[in-house]
Structure 1
Amino acid sequence: MISKFFKEKIKENFPFEPTQEQEIALDKIVDFLFLQKEESIFLLRGFAGTGKSSLLGALVKTMTDFKQKTVLLAPTGRAAKVFSSYSNHPAFTIHKKIYRQQKYSGELGNFGLMDNLHKDTLFIVDEASMISNNGLDSYFGTGRLLDDLIHFVYSGENCRILLIGDTAQLPPVGEEDSPALQVSELAGYGLEVHSAMLSQIVRQAEGSGILRNATAIRNALTKGKTEAYPKLKLKNFADIVKISGEDLIDEISSSYDKEGLENTMIISRSNKRCNIYNQGVRNRILYREEELSPGDMLMITKNNYYWTENVENVDFLANGEIVEVLRVRREQDLYGFRFCEVLIRSLDYDIELEVKILMDTLHSDAAGLTKERSEELFLNVLEDYADISTRAGKMKKLKVDPFYNALQVKFAYAVTCHKAQGGEWRNVFLDLGYISEEHLGINFYRWLYTAITRASNKLYLVNLPDEFE
């Protein structure tokens, strides 16, 4: 039978012998593919280290060899880059694939749902835990990403979805659970849900302290035992170490030298702590004297649609995206704010852009401009268009005003866990800070699990509180 032959080919493309669990998951995926039932969806849930990447890489290669059509998607540019690297196949952001800017609307940054012109195509969506459905992002379609994704794919001829995600990771901001990983949620679309679960750590990962600890945390999550401090096992593992504040500067500096800035990340619990780290890194490791210098890494803190308006293949600069400063040009003080013209390079898309950034957000303890300051910028820029009689006319001008659309950024040497989600770095420095018993519970355990699993090579636990040992 062709399905059996297909499965054998997938196994041949595995980097090692599949586990029993992977075999079962493969059987189910192959059955799903050969059933060809249009109104069906596959949900593959798996924890860190269980071989999701190997399975998907082998599946994508086999489907390509068999001339079967696939489209690979992920919620963020960084997650798409990771997905693309382990599958050896191009991957796109969900937004890039399903939305199109509505030029005729006269408003910048309103994106409508595209028509799905694909036929007989499997859409494989990684990092599905990050797909929100809370209606908060009104710029895009209905604002409900999961609704829009499903509507888009299933409007195409014989197109279906394979979702992959990890239920132990943080759900999207403002949601209790990740909607895309709930069978009941998916069945609510009238789809027949097929699913498989990977929970067994693959043999190749057994010696990893990162995965050993991540597994202990997700086991506690599964059993609902999240009220006590998690005990981290550090002995006999080379990939997870505890360091004191005194050694921190040397260790980060060494990581920058060996792995590079792009492959090192500090994760902390609050924007305030991240600010302190970012200043420390710039002053004491990189010796940057200017407020902003070429070589600085910045993270975008609010979606921006203005600066990529005429750039092919990039619809917008996304919240959480990391860019490198190539050149710092002139600074301007206007409207009660500070702006700077810079040339940046997007790490996710490898393109260069001339942009204006808002210097005021660089050092603030908030994630971006506060509501009050945003309102102030809005009203101050609006005054420039006092000669225009209609509000609609003023708004049209505002939409294309470079100052009103200045990029909101922060330094990106240290980030919060939500911002790090979907990314992976060789070395991660994790600062837990002070954790009281009130902080414990499901959310903290998911936070810790997500933070730990961002490291692929080495995890440094900074000033680890005694309660965790």
Structure 2
Amino acid sequence: MERYFRDEFIGYNLTASQRELVTQLEEFLINDSEHVFILKGYAATGKELILKGLENYLRKIERGMSLATPTNKTAFWLEQSVDSHVSTIHSMIYEYMETKDAEDGQPREASKFIYKLRGNLDSMDHVYVIGESGLLNDEISDCKYLCYGTGKLLEDLMNFIDPNATGCRRKVIFIGDDTQMAPATSALSALRPSYFKAMYGDAFPVRIFQLTDVVDKQLKNLILKNAVHIRHAIEKDRHNRLVFERNTSTMIELDKSQFLRTYLKAYQAVEDNKPIIVASMNQTAKLYNAQIREQLFPSKTSVQPGDWIMFTKNVWIGEYRGFNGEFAKVLSVKGSENKYINFAGRSRELRFRYVDIEITNRYGEKERLSCKLFENLLDASGSVLPDDEWLEPLINTLYYPVVYAQYGYAITVHKAQGGVWKTVFFDTEFYQNIKTKAGFKWLYTGLSLAKNRLYFTNWTDMGSKLLETMSSLSNTSSSNTKNGIWSQGSSMGINAKATLSSIAIPEIEGSTAYLEYVKEVSEELSIVLNQLNIQIVKINNMYFRIRYTFKRGNSYASLDALYKQKQIITSVENHRNQGDDENLANEIKNVMDRLIE
């Protein structure tokens, strides 16, 4: 009996874009002239369901499939949510070739391990699925100690698949979320049709699909719902308005005094699946780690039994390969060794600790390992500072193997990217301007780390001051608002925003430019003016100017809100139509001035 990919979803209520994706993947899999499919799937769009269906389908038709990701860390996390083994792209396509010893008289250079592109023994109809593809770029990788192929991972992957080979029907499906941050070493992911056409010619077909429809039931999770809000803002190039929806179970706001206290309680409540703090900068993570350790191990500055660490470099510990981003628990500290290194007029003290650690392997089993920990880095960022880069080859030559790690209670969003935790504590203070595309992508990535619960701090809702300062307006407004929206304090900015969809405003006349923005501003204004029994009776969208006509009883007023291309209100003017009530106009202007950003 002939099997179809679409049959894997019988009984599922797919979204329109999921149904279209199933159709396109089915066509792609049987079209021998196509080899590359780029699937972009946002948070809450249900790409995981499609991936599981693809696994089941290929297994049933006995067509080979390999699932891989760009890093060990992302391979580990993805394997937790799928039924198949997940490898790294490196382990899938490279094999060890030789060791190149350091040259005499060049102590800065350590030995290099050379890996070449392996021969592809997979069938000619094999399917390769590359998860977390947004982290994949094609910049030449650092070749200090480990040298892989040409150094360009995506190019080597495509050469391994070899779509131009005679009789090749192999497929590669790249799955990623381009709303997340680009790789830390690059401003741009390599997953663009233009890249493949540059490699294989303009006629090379690249199928690309954007999974956009949100799965309704996933929006019951406020973390995902807020991530969708951020994604919509990025799509509209609107980085100056964002209001988080909160509750007391999933998306929980904490002040600074509560943040660490709540984290410590959550950390100590579980043996496995420890919560994580994520922040913008290494310095912030370092401070959190120090504060947490002071509570867990008062007056103890060195590593202690019970400490939680994260590897910051791949390392072999006996027969076990630890990977960058893997977490471990320190079971015992058995001794220490201090060494002094002098080189080119510089001197450093190196502190090593002999410890036993516990890791959870990819099969969910706990293993006890003995290793030598480079303690200098534990309370730093886990990496040698630029001024001390000369140390690394000497350490690796003289003291190999050494575990590079940092304390794992708090890390940066960049280091956490690709992972998933049941509980995340998110410090949303961004090291640059948060009201940018980069800032919103960073926020989106941070939210995407949490599966069940997200605590956040250092957050201020973005938008006009209108909703943010309603409590102060209550002091100057008329008495009929005493029991209304303003009397409930500044937190009403959230509740008011949540009810915008129920606000009726007149049809917007004039230009259709920036229509969504004009509608949003008008709804926000309407919800406040309704408390003063003032109605918006006419809206005219002009060239970067919104002209409003207002009514209360038999009195009218007309005012203009001027805005820029960046969709921010810059000023409010009284239009002064004949017969307008000047007192009403002034009252409304006092409200509208809070739209100015």
TM over 0.5, shorter chain:
yes
Q: Kindly provide the CA deviation profile for residues 382-414 of structure 1, in whole angstroms up to 9, marking residues without a partner as x.
A: xxxxxxxxxxxxxxxx64x325x5222111111
- Write the mapping of 1:182-221 to structure 2, written as runs, cut at 5 A: 182-190=192-200, 191-221=204-234
* Amino acid in structure 1 at the alignment position of 2:420: E
Q: CA RMSD in A?
A: 2.6
Distance (whole Å) between structure 2 residues aligned to residue 117 and residue 41 of structure 1: 19
* Corresponding residue of 2:160: 152
Check whether the contact 1:77–1:348 (CA below 8 A) recurs between aligned residues: no
Q: Which structure carries more relative contact order (alpha carbon 8 Å, separation 6+)?
A: 1
> In the alignment, is residue 132 of structure 1 matched against residue 137 of structure 2?
yes
| TM-aligned CA distance change 1:143 to 1:218, over 3 Å | same
Distance (whole Å) between structure 1 residues aligned to residue 189 and residue 129 of structure 2: 17
Distance (whole Å) between structure 2 residues aligned to residue 254 and residue 145 of structure 1: 42
> In the alignment, is residue 161 of structure 1 matched against residue 161 of structure 2?
no
* Amino acid in structure 1 at the alignment position of 2:242: P
* Corresponding residue of 2:74: 79
| TM-aligned CA distance change 1:319 to 1:84, over 3 Å | closer
SS in 2 for 1:363: coil
| TM-aligned CA distance change 1:78 to 1:370, over 3 Å | closer
Check whether the contact 2:69–2:75 (CA below 8 A) recurs between aligned residues: yes
* Corresponding residue of 1:36: 32
**Runs of 4 or more consecutive aligned structure 1 residues displaced over 6 Å after TM superposition:** none
Check whether the contact 2:434–2:440 (CA below 8 A) recurs between aligned residues: no
Distance (whole Å) between structure 1 residues aligned to residue 176 and residue 88 of structure 2: 15
Q: Which moved more, 1:141-150 or 1:293-302?
A: 293-302
Q: CA deviation at 1:378?
A: 4.6
> In the alignment, is residue 253 of structure 1 matched against residue 269 of structure 2?
no
* Corresponding residue of 1:407: 403
Q: CA deviation at 1:187?
A: 2.9
* Amino acid in structure 2 at the alignment position of 1:462: T
| TM-aligned CA distance change 1:85 to 1:58, over 3 Å | farther
Percent pairwise identity: 25
* Amino acid in structure 1 at the alignment position of 2:6: E
> In the alignment, is residue 22 of structure 1 matched against residue 18 of structure 2?
yes
* Corresponding residue of 1:109: 113
Correspondence for 1:94 among 75, 89, 92: 89
* Amino acid in structure 2 at the alignment position of 1:170: M
> In the alignment, is residue 171 of structure 1 matched against residue 187 of structure 2?
no
* Amino acid in structure 1 at the alignment position of 2:384: L
Q: Kindly provide the CA deviation profile for residues 200-254 of structure 1, in whole angstroms up to 9, marking residues without a partner as x.
A: 110221212111111111111112222x2532222x5731010112222332133
Correspondence for 2:40 among 42, 45, 58: 45
| TM-aligned CA distance change 1:372 to 1:204, over 3 Å | same
SS in 2 for 1:369: coil
* Corresponding residue of 2:518: none
* Amino acid in structure 2 at the alignment position of 1:111: Y
Distance (whole Å) between structure 1 residues aligned to residue 359 and residue 158 of structure 2: 29
Q: CA deviation at 1:352?
A: 4.7
* Amino acid in structure 1 at the alignment position of 2:214: I
> In the alignment, is residue 279 of structure 1 matched against residue 283 of structure 2?
no
> In the alignment, is residue 344 of structure 1 matched against residue 357 of structure 2?
yes
Distance (whole Å) between structure 1 residues aligned to residue 199 and residue 422 of structure 2: 39
| TM-aligned CA distance change 1:377 to 1:40, over 3 Å | closer
SS in 2 for 1:238: coil
* Amino acid in structure 2 at the alignment position of 1:338: R
Distance (whole Å) between structure 2 residues aligned to residue 348 and residue 230 of structure 1: 40
* Amino acid in structure 2 at the alignment position of 1:94: I
Q: CA deviation at 1:267?
A: 0.4
Correspondence for 2:127 among 122, 128, 131: 122
Distance (whole Å) between structure 1 residues aligned to residue 281 and residue 217 of structure 2: 34
> In the alignment, is residue 320 of structure 1 matched against residue 316 of structure 2?
no
SS in 1 for 2:209: strand
Distance (whole Å) between structure 2 residues aligned to residue 51 and residue 286 of structure 1: 43
Check whether the contact 1:209–1:237 (CA below 8 A) recurs between aligned residues: no
| TM-aligned CA distance change 1:376 to 1:62, over 3 Å | closer
Q: CA deviation at 1:78?
A: 3.2
SS in 1 for 2:414: helix
Q: CA deviation at 1:293?
A: 2.2
> In the alignment, is residue 459 of structure 1 matched against residue 471 of structure 2?
no
Check whether the contact 1:321–1:348 (CA below 8 A) recurs between aligned residues: no
Q: CA deviation at 1:467?
A: 4.5
Distance (whole Å) between structure 1 residues aligned to residue 447 and residue 115 of structure 2: 35
Identify, as 1 or 2, the structure richer in helix: 1
* Corresponding residue of 2:372: 356
Correspondence for 2:5 among 4, 7, 10: 7
> In the alignment, is residue 231 of structure 1 matched against residue 228 of structure 2?
no
> In the alignment, is residue 416 of structure 1 matched against residue 412 of structure 2?
yes
| TM-aligned CA distance change 1:348 to 1:442, over 3 Å | farther
* Amino acid in structure 1 at the alignment position of 2:259: L
Note the residue ranges of structure 2 that are not aligned, 5 or more in a row: 102-110, 341-348, 464-493, 495-597
Check whether the contact 1:269–1:431 (CA below 8 A) recurs between aligned residues: yes
Q: CA deviation at 1:377?
A: 5.8
SS in 2 for 1:189: helix
Q: Which moved more, 1:23-32 or 1:103-112?
A: 103-112
SS in 2 for 1:293: coil
Q: CA deviation at 1:33?
A: 0.6
| TM-aligned CA distance change 1:150 to 1:108, over 3 Å | same
Distance (whole Å) between structure 1 residues aligned to residue 373 and residue 195 of structure 2: 40
* Amino acid in structure 2 at the alignment position of 1:431: D
Identify, as 1 or 2, the structure richer in strand: 2
Distance (whole Å) between structure 2 residues aligned to residue 229 and residue 24 of structure 1: 32
SS in 1 for 2:148: coil
| TM-aligned CA distance change 1:101 to 1:296, over 3 Å | farther
* Corresponding residue of 1:393: none
Q: CA deviation at 1:278?
A: 1.1
Q: CA deviation at 1:98?
A: 1.5
Q: Which moved more, 1:146-155 or 1:269-278?
A: 146-155
- Give the structure-2-normalised TM-score: 0.67
Q: CA deviation at 1:367?
A: 5.1
| TM-aligned CA distance change 1:372 to 1:8, over 3 Å | closer
* Amino acid in structure 2 at the alignment position of 1:122: V
* Amino acid in structure 1 at the alignment position of 2:370: E
Q: CA deviation at 1:260?
A: 4.2
Check whether the contact 1:333–1:339 (CA below 8 A) recurs between aligned residues: yes
Distance (whole Å) between structure 2 residues aligned to residue 178 and residue 126 of structure 1: 13
Distance (whole Å) between structure 1 residues aligned to residue 297 and residue 32 of structure 2: 55
Distance (whole Å) between structure 2 residues aligned to residue 278 and residue 288 of structure 1: 14
SS in 2 for 1:195: strand
Distance (whole Å) between structure 2 residues aligned to residue 74 and residue 434 of structure 1: 28
Note the residue ranges of structure 1 that are not aligned, 5 or more in a row: 382-397
